[in-house]
A and B are shown apart, each in its own frame.
Chain A
Amino acid sequence: MQEITKTLSDKELQLRYSEFEKEAVPHMDALYNFALRMTGDEDDADDLVQETFLKAFRFFDKFEKGTNCKAWLFRILKNSFINDYRKTSKEPNKVDYDDVQNFYETIKADEVETQHYEEDAFANLLDDDISKALTELPEDFRTVIILSDIEGFTYDEISEFVDIPVGTVRSRLHRARKMLYVQLFDYAKDKGFVKKSISSKKLNK
Chain B
Amino acid sequence: MDLLEEITCYVDGELKDENNCCRIQQLIADDCMMRNEYLVQKCIKDLLGKRFSSSQIPSGLREKILLHISSNSNN
Footprint of B on A, CB under 8 Å? 1-2, 4-5, 10, 13-14, 16-17, 20, 25, 28-29, 31-33, 36-37, 46, 49-50, 53-54, 57, 107, 109-110, 112, 115, 118-119, 122-123, 127, 130-131, 134, 145-146, 148-152, 154-155, 167, 170-171, 173-174, 177-178, 180-181, 184
Contact = CB atoms under 8 A, between A and B. Distances in A.
B72 A1 contact: yes
Given A122-B47, A149-B45, A17 B53 contact: no
Interface in B35-75: 35-36, 39-41, 43-45, 47-49, 51-53, 55-58, 61-62, 64-66, 68-70, 72-75
Contact of B73 (A16, A50, A115): A16
Contact of B65 (A14, A53, A110, A174): A53
23 contacts: A1-B69, A5-B75, A14-B73, A17-B69, A28-B62, A29-B55, A33-B55, A50-B61, A50-B65, A57-B72, A107-B36, A112-B32, A112-B33, A115-B43, A119-B43, A150-B52, A170-B5, A170-B8, A170-B14, A174-B2, A177-B40, A178-B40, A181-B40
Mostly, the A contact residues are helix
Contacts of A46: 58, 61
- 5 interchain residue pairs of minimum CB distance: A32-B57, A17-B73, A149-B48, A109-B32, A13-B73
Given A32-B57, A32-B58, A145-B44, 10 more contacts: A1-B69, A5-B75, A50-B61, A50-B68, A109-B36, A112-B39, A130-B51, A148-B45, A150-B53, A174-B2
Given A13-B72, A149-B49, A173-B8, A118 B14 contact: no
Contact of B57 (A29, A109, A151, A167): A29
